[in-house]
Every structure is written in structure tokens, then in C-alpha cells.
Amino acid sequence: MNSTLTWYVNSNIGSDSNINSATELGIISTPIGDVELSASGQSIDDEFMDLGAGFNFNYPFDKNSSAFVRGNFNQHNNFSTSAFDLDVLAGEAGYAVIRENVRLALSGRAQRVDLDDQEFQSSTSLLGTWQRNAGDGWSQGITAAYTAVRYDTSTNPDNNLRDVNQILLSGNLGKSSGRFLHNVSVYFGDENAQRDAGSNNAQKFYGVAFSEQIQFRPGHVPYIRISFHKSENKSVAPVFNIDREDDTFSTSLGWIWQFNRNINITSDVTYTENDSNIDLYAYDRVKYQTGLRYQF
């Protein structure tokens, strides 16, 4: 058995009505009075370009077991507002076993996020995955993850108040039926703050998502995705003196064109609306993008 190594590069260009996921309000009411937000604290619209690359390496020990390593890097550059530019570097390595139609995998993952060319956040995760492909086009999957999220303190010592440890459980159910592929997924997460003073940054959250793909014609796959997410912070928010609760609705409509065996061209639009019991965190967002991915 031979090992396999695949690479890919990708690029996207688009427009985002709210690159910082911020409110459109200029003045926020708080228990201590009205607060006027600066321009950077309000929603900012901009155009952007993404550049990315990644690889997948698989080393089989026999027909039923293998080791795998994968990594990716993505650079998100806003054309006018560099303060919200993001660089994301991630890597994962693990071991997988296949028995009949069931795949079990255990892996470790590390990720670093830079904001405006400065380290912002890092995380390390331990993941376990169970996947099953059943008859008649059915598939199921369950994933459990434990993640330690840490924030860089070089620019602000208080950033460590945002450090949390997170447990995430998720499951998905898929069904292939003719030209259609239906999928529904659910998840639940629970976070614990590393410091008592930062307990307002820890959340419990859960959500559900549904997606539908259609093989419209050879090489052309339109799709739609709808998701609902709810989060509840574990203690009162400073200044506002209430527990923050958010309800997020998001929907995407897109098209995948497999130009040839190595090239995919995609276009999509995503609308997101976040309702919060604290006006500062309520926002909506529309994002358009089109891109190309080359795999070799």
C-alpha cells in the first residue's frame, strides 16, 4: 500500500457588509448612561481577498488502519481596513481505523490566529470521531473535542481573561437520494474560564444546521445551508450587569462548479443576523464571495 499526498491552493474575492461583526448603532444605552461608540466599534463594510493553501498526507499501515497529517494556512485581507485582517495557520495529526463501514479516528490539532499581523489567539485540541456509511445512501457521524483556547497578552495583559477550556459534542446525519444530498447536524458546547474574573467570557452554546446539495448537471452543484445558534454566557457582562444571551441565524446560497478534475470554482452569498439582549452585540451581515481551488 502506498502513501498519498495531496496539495491545494485557493483564492477568494468578495464583499462583506460587516467585517467586524459589530452593531450599526452609534450610541449604546447602559446602566451607567449612554455610551457613544467610535467608528471602529461600529460595523465596517469592505471588500476582501483570501489566499490559502493546504495539504493532506495519509500513510496506511494496512488496509484497515492509517496515520494522517493535514495542515492549512489562510490569509484574509480586507482592502481598506487592515485592523481586521486575519491569518490562520492550523495543523492536525492522527490515527484512523476502519472496520467494515465504520471509521474511528483520534487526532490532535493546533491552530494560531493572527489579527493585523500580530498574534491574537492560539488553541490546541484533542478530537475523537466516529463515522459510519450505511446502506441506501445513509451516513452518520459523531465528534467529541476538547479545546484549550488562549489569547495573546503581549499587547494587553487582560487578554488572558478570555482564556477558556471548551468541550464540544457534534453529530450529523446525511442521506444521498438520487441527485440530492441532505444533511443535518447538531452540536453542544460548554466552556470554563481559566480565571474567575473572566467567567463572563465563558459560554454554553448549542445549534443545528441543515444543508441541501443538488447535482444540477455534471460538474455543477448548487447548495443551500441554514443554521441556528444559541449562546448563553455564564456570568454577568461588565457594565451591562446582565447575563449575555445571543441567538444567531445564518443562511448561505452557493454554487460549486467542478471545472475539471483539479479545479473547482465556487460562488456564494451568506446572510447572518445576531440578536442579543445587549444591543452592543446585535448585528447583521451580508457576505458575497467567489473563488477558485486547485488541487494537485
Measured CA distances, 109 to 61, 90, 117, 198, 250 (Å): 22, 7, 22, 25, 27
Contact assessment for residue 73 and residue 88, using Cβ atoms and an 8 Å cutoff = yes
Quick: pLDDT tens for 19-40: 999 888 888 877 777 778 777 7
214 pLDDT band (50/70/90 cuts)? very high
Domains of the chain, by residue range, sit at: 4-295
Report, as an integer, the average pLDDT of 286-293. Answer: 98
Cβ atoms of 92 and 71 closer than 8 Å: yes
pLDDT at residue 193 in the model = 95
146-198 residue pLDDT tens: 999 999 999 888 899 999 999 999 999 999 988 999 999 999 999 999 998 88
Alpha carbon of 104 to those of 33, 69, 75, 99, 266: distances in Å? 55, 15, 32, 8, 31
pLDDT the model gives residue 9:
97
- 7's CB contacts (< 8 A; 6+ apart) are 53, 54, 55, 295, 296
Is the whole model's pTM more than 0.85, yes or no? yes
Residue 241 has pLDDT above 80, yes or no: yes
For the domain spanning 4-295, the CATH number is: 2.40.160.40
State residue 171's pLDDT score: 98
Q: What is the pLDDT of residue 131?
A: 96
C-alpha cell at 237: 457582562
Write out pLDDT tens, residues 40-76: 788 999 999 999 999 999 999 998 999 999 999 999 9
Residue type, 173: L
Give the model's pLDDT for residue 32: 75
DSSP 85: -
Tens-digit pLDDT profile for residues 70-110:
999 999 999 999 999 999 999 999 999 998 899 999 999 99
Q: Mean pLDDT throughout 121-125?
A: 97
